[in-house]
Amino acid sequence: MGFEEKKKGKYERAEKFIEKMKEIQEKAKAALGKAQEDIKKYADRKKAEVDEYKVGDLVILSTKDLKYQMVRRRIEKLIEKLVRPYKV
């Protein structure tokens, strides 16, 4: 009846606003997806192949991440870059 027509006309702007916000949200999702793909592409370029080690293989350890644990024993600049071979 007449009541339904008034109600529809009353919320027309709200419905337009909702549609506009949905459109903006879709564009934002697309932009974020593209940015995520770009970041992944550039991050994957720097990844190297991982070597497979077997039991009994000899490996040389880097002290890059061990440096802070070894500082107490010696002066930092005298710490070796690589540590002797170890068996896996």
pLDDT for the residue numbered 36:
96
pLDDT at 61: 74
Looking at residue 81, its pLDDT comes to 66
The tens place of each residue's pLDDT in the chain, 88 residues long, gives 555 655 566 788 899 999 999 999 999 999 999 999 999 999 888 787 777 888 888 887 777 666 555 555 556 665 666 667 777 7
* pLDDT for residue 57: 86
Nearest to 86 by CA among 55, 58, 51: 58
Supply 78's token pair: 């005298």
Q: pTM of the predicted model, to two decimals? A: 0.45
Q: How many residues does the chain have?
A: 88
